[in-house]
């Protein structure tokens, strides 16, 4: 059957709403390209323009993240009259927090992505982590919040970028037997170092895939089992010497590895967490 027309109305950039809608649609194997997204809807007039568009459709579901009470009411009234399905993403949560704290919500749109100090820190963390990606400059190790080590194809770079987005300055360093890692990795607290590892089978298949993508023959030593075992053994030795946490990423998505790291940081109570809570 024809899928519903899906609208998303936000008074800010619509990221929260988008994530919720995607989570929901994934439970229905529905395509998500046809979401009609209206962002920065801040006045009744702007909202009316969206409502005109909605009223010309059939079978509509409207998701919204609006914090101004006036707009929320206007939309609710319209949905009742026109009889379309309306989903308030923030409403229940806003009401629950009000009840639990006896506070009144501010009703100010766009607070979450204010260009404040935190926002600039995040940008700096991203720039830092790009600058000190792939062992480019060992001085980064001493300045980083977190140092990530691992052999090729243990997802060091995407993990670093994900952590950078969470305001953590990461330096990542590749390990391979032909060259000693920079001495700086022994000069910082082991709690600031995370080793990544993967199973030989998985590395073998990821590296073969990688060679294919690069148009190279798949029997290059890079993807050979013996070579991989040698690299893993070498990496293991280095990580043991440091005494750092080692995470096997073979069954983890980036987000899961990152969550493990956050939990570890909380437990070890490193500078990182102090910084994030200050």
Has 16 been labeled as part of a binding site? no
156 marked among binding-site residues? yes
Q: Which is nearer to a copy of itself, 134 or 236 (CB)?
A: 134
- Identify the residue whose tokens are 């399905």: 85
Interface residues for a copy of itself in 76-95 (CB under 8 A)? Answer: 85-90, 92-94
Terminal-residue alpha carbon distance, the chain: 52
Q: How far is the CB of 190 from a copy of itself (least distance, A)?
A: 25
| Region of 56-64, 176-184, 186-194, 235-243 interacting with a copy of itself (CB under 8 A) | 56-64
Asked whether position 216 contacts a copy of itself by CB under 8 A, the answer is no
3-state helix, strand, coil in the chain (%, to 5): 55, 15, 30
CB 11 within 8 A of CB 66: yes
Return all residues near 207 (Cβ < 8 A) that are at least 6 apart. Answer: 152, 153, 222, 223, 228
Strand ranges for the chain from DSSP E: 5-10, 35-38, 60-65, 85-88, 146-150, 170-174, 193-197, 245-248
- For the bound state, the minimum distance from the C-beta of residue 149 to a copy of itself, rounded and expressed in Å, comes to 17
Q: Please report whether residue 176 would count as binding a copy of itself according to CB under 8 A.
A: no
Distance CA 118, CA 276 (A): 10
**CB of residue 258 to a copy of itself, shortest distance in Å:** 9
**Are the CB atoms for 159 and 196 separated by under 8 Å?**
yes
105 near a copy of itself (CB under 8 A): yes
How far is CA 131 from each of CA 48, 127, 173, rounded to the nearest angstrom?
46, 6, 12
Instruction: Decide: is 265 part of the binding site for a copy of itself (CB under 8 A).
Output: no
Residues 43, 44, 49, 111: which binds a copy of itself (CB under 8 A)? 111
Minimum distance from residue 2 beta carbon to a copy of itself (Å): 8
The binder of a copy of itself chosen from 69, 256, 269, 271 (CB under 8 A): 256
Please list, in sequence order, all residues whose beta carbon lies within 8 angstroms of the beta carbon of residue 58, skipping any fewer than 6 positions away: 5
Of 46-54, 100-108, 144-152, 176-184, the segment contacting a copy of itself by CB under 8 A is 100-108
Determine which residue in the list 83, 179, 215, 277 makes contact with a copy of itself, applying CB under 8 A. Answer: 277
Say whether residue 161 binds a copy of itself (CB under 8 A): yes
Q: Please, which of residues 16-35 interact with a copy of itself by CB under 8 A?
A: 16, 19-30, 33
Nearer to a copy of itself, 209 or 233 (CB): 209
100 in contact with a copy of itself (CB under 8 A): yes
- H/E stretch holding 235: helix 225-242
Per CB under 8 A, the list member of 66, 71, 75, 133 interacting with a copy of itself is 133
- The 8 Å CB, 24+ separation contacts for 270-275 are 270/189, 270/191, 270/192, 271/145, 271/192, 272/145, 272/146, 272/168, 272/192, 275/145
CB of 202 to a copy of itself, least distance (A): 11
Q: Work out whether 249 is an interface residue with a copy of itself (CB under 8 A).
A: no
Summarize the annotated binding site as residue ranges. 150-157
Residue stretches of the annotated binding site for ADP: 150-157
């Amino acid at each position: 059957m024809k899928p519903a027309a899906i609208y998303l109305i936000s008074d800010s950039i619509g990221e929260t709403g988008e994530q919720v809608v995607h989570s929901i649609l994934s439970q229905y194997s529905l395509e998500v390209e046809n979401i009609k997204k209206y962002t920065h809807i801040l006045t009744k007039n702007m909202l009316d323009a969206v409502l005109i568009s909605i009223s010309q459709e059939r079978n509509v579901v409207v998701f919204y993240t609006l914090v101004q009470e006036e707009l929320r009411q206007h939309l609710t009234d319209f949905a009742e009259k026109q009889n379309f399905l309306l989903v308030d993403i923030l409403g229940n949560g806003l009401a629950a927090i009000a009840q639990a704290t006896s506070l009144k919500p501010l009703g100010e749109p766009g607070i979450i992505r204010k260009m404040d100090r935190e926002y600039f820190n995040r940008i700096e963390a991203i720039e830092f982590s790009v600058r000190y990606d792939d062992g480019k400059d060992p001085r980064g190790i001493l300045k980083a919040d977190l140092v990530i080590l691992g052999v090729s194809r243990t997802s060091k770079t995407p993990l670093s970028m994900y952590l950078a987005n969470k305001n953590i300055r990461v330096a990542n360093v590749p390990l391979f037997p032909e060259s000693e890692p920079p001495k700086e990795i022994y000069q910082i607290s082991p709690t600031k170092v995370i080793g990544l590892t993967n199973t030989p089978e998985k590395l073998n298949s990821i590296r073969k895939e990688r060679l294919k993508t690069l148009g190279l023959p798949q029997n290059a030593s890079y993807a050979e089992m013996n070579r991989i075992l040698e690299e893993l053994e070498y990496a293991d030795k280095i990580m043991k010497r440091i005494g750092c946490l080692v995470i096997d990423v073979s069954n983890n998505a980036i987000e899961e590895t990152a969550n493990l790291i956050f939990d570890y940081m909380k437990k070890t109570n490193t500078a990182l967490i102090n910084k994030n809570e200050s």
